[in-house]
Amino acid sequence: MTQYEGRLRLGVNIDHVATVRNARGGDYPDPIRAAKLAEDAGADGITAHLREDRRHITDRDIDGLMEALSVPLNFEMAATEEMQRIALRHKPHAVCIVPEKREERTTEGGLEVANDENRLAHFIAPLRDAGCRVSIFIAADRRQIDAAHRIGAQVIELHTGGYCDSYAEGDMDAHRAELEKMREMSTYAHSLGLEVHAGHGLTYDTVKPVAAFPEVMELNIGHFLIGEAIFRGLAPAITEMRRLMEDARA
Ligand code: PXP
């Protein structure tokens, strides 16, 4: 089977179940329960971001996810020694290296790989050696893709935030330009042998054009699905996202 023939995977990011839980400081709602529900509803993987400030997902959540999940965990983390230690202890299926700033509300941009190549190459080597698939969250930028390839990442995840923001702002020229850039860079990254994922800010309105890229193997979607779960329930929210993804691929 070639890379193109695989089913487009949906990774459900459960960070914001933890955001709601942490608003009251207790145990409810439980992100692990949400992850199991997402699994049953057709998620191909679960994504969770253990931030340095633990503002949503906690170390205990990662322990619980590693124990409870039947589908792969995509562990999002900053390139810090502490996170590397945690990842090496758990050895999740995948680690996705993301930039992290304490003051940001969410992951605002892609990782700067090109200017930090040497450090990142050394940083990801033990993760790869431990059997984790290493993914790098980057902008659709040839320089960053080349650098991700050179440091030995197996996967890149393209940051769809600009594409989604321009749609929300009604700036359709920018929206189309962002989409074109991602289309071109998915093809380019795939030609280098990198597996291509995409995510950040995707909704029912924005998912299909990205899902239609034949090189994209996985979409990681969180905030919108957890929000939509308030209105229609988590399982139906995921089912509808899967339907749109499959439609786009057909
Ligand atoms: N992919 C990566 C690398 C992310 O950092 C995030 C946000 O944590 C997502 C996907 C999901 O973004 P959203 O929650 O906006 O769907």
* pLDDT by residue, tens only, the chain of 250 residues: 444 456 899 999 999 999 999 999 999 999 999 999 999 999 999 999 999 999 999 999 999 999 999 999 999 999 999 999 999 999 999 999 999 976 677 767 899 999 999 999 999 999 999 999 999 999 999 999 999 999 999 999 999 999 999 999 999 999 999 999 999 999 999 999 999 999 999 999 999 999 999 999 999 999 999 999 999 999 999 999 999 999 999 8
Q: What is the pLDDT of residue 107?
A: 67
**Is 74 annotated to bind ligand?**
no
| CA-based R_g, the chain, Å | 17
Q: What is the pLDDT of residue 3?
A: 44
**Is 106 annotated to bind ligand?**
yes
Q: What is the pLDDT of residue 105?
A: 72
Residue 10 · residue 237 · CB < 8 Å: no
Q: What is the pLDDT of residue 101?
A: 78
Ligand 1: which of 200, 203, 216, 238 to mutate, judged by most atoms within 8 Å of the beta carbon?
200
CATH 3.30.950.10 fits 9-249, yes or no: no
Cβ of residue 44 lying under 6 Å from some atom of ligand 1: no
**Is 51 annotated to bind ligand?**
yes
CA pair distance 93, 62, nearest whole angstrom: 13
Nearest C-alpha to atom 12 of ligand 1 is from which residue?
A: 200
Quick one: which H or E segment has residue 94?
strand 94-97
Known active-site residue 197:
no
Ligand 1: which of 76, 163, 210, 241 to mutate, judged by most atoms within 8 Å of the beta carbon?
76
Cβ of residue 96 lying under 6 Å from some atom of ligand 1: yes
The ranges assigned to domains in the chain are 9-249
Q: What is the pLDDT of residue 108?
A: 72
* Cβ-proximal residues to 156 (8 Å cutoff; 6+ apart), any chain: 135, 136, 137, 138, 145, 148, 189, 194, 195, 196, 197
Known active-site residue 82:
no
Cβ of residue 137 lying under 6 Å from some atom of ligand 1: yes
First to last CA, the chain: 18
How many helices, marked H, and strands, marked E, lie in the chain?
A: 11, 8
